[in-house]
Structure 1
Amino acid sequence: MSQYTAPNLFIAGANGTTYAYRRFGQAGTTPIVFFQHFRGNLDNWDPALVDAIAAEREVILFDASGIALSTGTTPATFKDFGHDALTFIDALGLDEVDLFGFSIGGFVAQEVALQRPDLVRRIVLAGTGPEGGENMHGWADEPHAHAMKDVQDAEDIHYLFFNPSPESRKKGEEFVGRIFTRAEDRDADVSLAARDIQSAAIIEWGIPNPAKLDRLASIQAPTLVANGDNDIMVPTPNSYLLADAIPNSELTIYANANHGFLFQYPQEFAAEVLTFLQKN
């Protein structure tokens, strides 16, 4: 089973949402629940990254309430996204998970770890930042225009996720090819209404407030923080803030990489994630 072929599954949550998800990989291991980026759906996860992790671990990808094929109302805050994620995890009957949060998915992963610490074994926070962090209170004009475009194309992906260098752009072209390879049973697009709700939640999360960092001291699960050295969506200094604030954390910064460093270096990052998750 692969990200290219895993079927779309559905499960009802106690909140009335029917969640769309994919679950594959090595059954019997601690499942890794993946939390997706702004406007992302199941098909925006890079098969090269996810399949490499699934070779050794069970992976679970899902759409939050109101996102793509999941029913229900899109949560208005990341605290509520955390509650929503826990409803999905509870519906699956899981009592221990690892978390993999990318971009705004990292905001959700932090909330899950704070709200239900006994559930979480280990955490991966990729291309993300803490509530109240640095330069997160809305995007600059050009990133905003690409991120909020009603109909996005490959050029928007290149700009938002990859550096303009020839090496990074080539990796971006390969990534775009991978995520559009799957032809059957694809996820639905994220609606513009859900986009706008997510955008408003990002603005609220990003209100500058250094005092918010103190809450991260409550995250006791070992945490891997990683980013590119030139993240224009969640500025790279926020990864340093996370690593400093979470007690049991480690930090890796990838060179010549933007927000989508994990898609530019899928094999390398998958190997790092697996090594991290296998530690005692």
Structure 2
Amino acid sequence: MDHNGTYLDAKTSTVEGSNGVTYAYRRLGPQGGRPLVLLQHFRGNLDNWDPDLVDALAASRDVIAFDNSGVAATTGSTPTAIAQMADDAIVFVEALGLDRIDLLGFSIGSFVAQEVALTRPSLVAKVVLASTAPQGAPGIQGWAPDIIAAIGEPKTGPEGYLHAFFTDSPASRAAGQQVLGRLYSRTEGRDEQTSWRTRNAQYDAVLKWGTPNFGLLQRLTAIQQPVFIANGDDDRMILPWYSHLTAALIPDAFVKLYPDSAHGFLFQHARAFAADVHAFLDA
């Protein structure tokens, strides 16, 4: 069975998990292979995935995007710890009847992806970590004031998004404007906005993840799956050197940095990144 159409046309479905949470999700692309499950960024919902990226990923792959517990149209409460978010993500995957998946986690979603791989290794075949950092690494307990002002205030807007997700170069800013246009091009059946409570809970989880603890870094040596780590070369939210640190801790991992891009590199370079993801998952 195929999920035809594009991400902009994909309907939002729901499934109830064993935890009593009703999860909102969209599914796109041909079924039959191992599904690729997407884990979203800080304060993001289903409409914060770039349609160009999802369409490119779903060209030959079953792709599933979802709102985790308490986020946007999904019921329940947003946890204040990454480990619980991972447990809730596992419940969602089980509710769909899936027993083997690939994961693509972006930003806070990449933290959740690490935890899923550690908590339920038999579930996960391969992992893509976009804009990531390991738990306990120094210097990530909170973000720079300009970044949290751009994306962490009650009212956020296009300028804040451009500042946090793209560089100041004309090319990156122009790409950011195009991404914004794509993010708002869906006019019907849009997801609910994430709440202020979700913002606070997720930021609490980020702060806990970033509390320095060198002992926790060694947990990543237990990830045995192949891992592709990617970032923009000028990410001011999660610095690129954390990508290299993460890769150094995971036995089978490699890093690629995308040029003249920041936190939103995977949207700015959507086609190139999707091609790299396909090559990695198909290898």
Question: Normalising by the residue count of structure 1, what TM-score does the alignment of the two structures yield?
Answer: 0.98
Q: Does 1:51 align with 2:55?
A: yes
1:203 alignment partner AA: L
Post-superposition offset of 1:192: 0.4
2:70 alignment counterpart: 66
Q: Does 1:254 align with 2:258?
A: yes
Aligned counterpart for 1:151 among listed residues 150, 155, 175: 155
Does structure 2 retain, via aligned residues, the 8 Å contact 1:134–1:238? no
1:182 alignment counterpart: 186
Aligned counterpart for 1:199 among listed residues 197, 203, 207: 203
**Deviation string for 1:70-105 (max 9, x for gaps)?**
000111100000100001001011000000000000
Q: Where do 4+ consecutive residues of structure 1 move more than 2 Å?
A: none
Post-superposition offset of 1:210: 2.2
2:266 alignment partner AA: L
Q: Does 1:244 align with 2:248?
A: yes
Shift in alpha-carbon separation, 1:233–1:52, aligned structure 2, 3 A = same
| Superposition map of 1:32-111 within 5 A | 32-111=36-115
Question: Normalising by the residue count of structure 2, what TM-score does the alignment of the two structures yield?
Answer: 0.97
Identity within the alignment, %: 48
| Superposition map of 1:14-33 within 5 A | 14-33=18-37
SS at match of 2:126: strand
Distance in 2, matches of 1:87 and 1:76, equals 17
Post-superposition offset of 1:234: 1.1
Post-superposition offset of 1:209: 1.8
Does structure 2 retain, via aligned residues, the 8 Å contact 1:134–1:237? no
Distance in 1, matches of 2:33 and 2:188, equals 28
Post-superposition offset of 1:150: 0.9
2:208 alignment partner AA: E
| Superposition map of 1:117-196 within 5 A | 117-196=121-200
Distance in 1, matches of 2:243 and 2:172, equals 20
Structure 1 residue runs of 5 or longer lacking an equivalent are: none
Aligned counterpart for 2:11 among listed residues 7, 11, 24: 7
Distance in 2, matches of 1:220 and 1:139, equals 30
SS at match of 2:256: strand
Distance in 1, matches of 2:200 and 2:240, equals 24
Aligned length: 279
Structure 2 residue runs of 5 or longer lacking an equivalent are: none
Post-superposition offset of 1:134: 3.5
- Pairwise CA RMSD: 0.7
SS at match of 2:18: coil
Distance in 2, matches of 1:261 and 1:63, equals 21
1:21 alignment partner AA: Y
SS at match of 2:76: coil
1:256 alignment partner AA: D
Distance in 1, matches of 2:7 and 2:256, equals 26
2:248 alignment partner AA: D
Does structure 2 retain, via aligned residues, the 8 Å contact 1:135–1:235? no
SS at match of 1:88: helix
Does structure 1 retain, via aligned residues, the 8 Å contact 2:39–2:106? yes
Post-superposition offset of 1:225: 0.3
SS at match of 2:251: coil
Q: Which stretch of structure 1 is more off in the superposition, 148-157 or 172-181? A: 148-157
Q: Which stretch of structure 1 is more off in the superposition, 110-119 or 145-154? A: 145-154
Does structure 2 retain, via aligned residues, the 8 Å contact 1:75–1:84? no
**Deviation string for 1:25-75 (max 9, x for gaps)?**
011110000000000000000111110010010000000110000000111
1:41 alignment partner AA: N
**Deviation string for 1:84-135 (max 9, x for gaps)?**
0001001011000000000000000000000000110100000111101242
SS at match of 2:279: helix
